[in-house]
Structure 1
Amino acid sequence: MWKYLDVHSMDLIDKAQTTDELKRVLAELFQLQGWESDPRAAILLDLYFYTVQFSREHSFSREQSSAFFTIVKDTHEACVETPLPNVEECYRYFTELLFCHAIRRPPFSIDLFSREQLALMSDYVVNTYFRHFKLYKYAFTPQVRLDISLSYVGMPEPEPQAELGDEPVESVTAPVSPAQEEEADSGTTAPSDSPRAPLREYISAQLCQELAQLRLAMEERLQASEEQFNAKLALLEKVPNSPKGGGRGRRK
């Protein structure tokens, strides 16, 4: 109940009558003095300020104001503890905190709030905090990036490229004989095997195998359907036709 706002803190909050005074007190209590230049601190200060304002508007006692502030702050910390989407878990945690302060079951929970106050707090948090849940998540959690690198077995690794700062290497030309020129020409015209050719062949073979299995399964299914249809047709043909005029009596 007095987790974040103790009796002394509630005294300071009660003495603050204007908006600026209340924000200054909250900024000092939670080390948010740089809220004018820090967007995250400004968001937190607004969250704390409107939570206290809600308690004042509904005439909460000191104990109730401190407990409601704790519920809102703990819910926010559960939201920002992970960048992954956890709105359902946070809402479940929020409802558990509410019921812990609304049902008398010592030592697990106390009946600090009435049913009407419980409904008011639930509607307020749902319509303010959970309505902007993704914005709080975006502002207070780091962005997650996933970098994927693929390496194929049997593929040659690419050669490291020369750095930009390397000095240019002078090219030395040696006299080439006509026979060597013919060999070079024949080597350039011959198609070079690409290192990706084995991978392409493997993928093509797998696709052909999958298509063959799919075609075989379709043929088996069609054959089974045809056999079932023929069996039903044979049963219908075996049923004898009812004799005509069977319901009439014999003439004497």
Structure 2
Amino acid sequence: MLPTAPASPAPPPTLGQPVLDAVGIEKAYRRGVWPARRSLTVLRGVDLSLAPGEVVGLVGENGSGKSTLMKILVGALRADAGTVSYHGRLGYCPQEPVVYERLTCDEHFELFGRAYAMTEQAERRSRRAIYESLGFERYAAVRADQLSGGTLSKLNLGLALLADPEVLMLDEPYAGFDFDTYLRFWELVAERRRTGRSVLIISHFVTDEERFDRIVQLRDGKAVPR
């Protein structure tokens, strides 16, 4: 799956302006077959914004619409109503890694770097930093279909990080991580906060609540502060 982020960053937000702003997001799915077909409403006017340098957790029960909302935010799914605006690049880490089985980790980074319109030097520099921060450089020449689940999760996260996006969108990013990688992940998130980058993290449940600036819950199709 190629990145859904724009090829070049938009102008930075003005002081006090959110880097991502979603207003009135609605989404319903049709279930079943005619004549028993019915509409299942998942999102009922969700409002959500991220400030520069903010780390926000998005929680909710299974089926509450967390992944649906994130797909709408990154442009992978069309909303029935509402608007989404953002500044800069979006980095998206889906819950299930979507990779090319026959490509190595290095080849994935090269491909995504071209899709992001990165220079070869910038892509290689970012790739080296990601390998070091997540600890999987020894798998650089290994094909995706030969990676363990944990290393595949590292590649999935690394591809989202490659272009140093202003807004990083993560759907259950640490599934399959060992404890050391889990700690590395939070160090990486803290560094992004320090540099004014924003992070939205989906989780079924939130531990380490002190690591978040704010936690938002999806309940009855609405986003409410927790």
Q: Which has the higher strand share?
A: 2
Fold match by TM threshold 0.5: no
**TM-score, normalisation: structure 1:** 0.27
User: Higher Cα Rg: structure 1 or 2?
Assistant: 1
Q: Which has the higher helix share?
A: 1
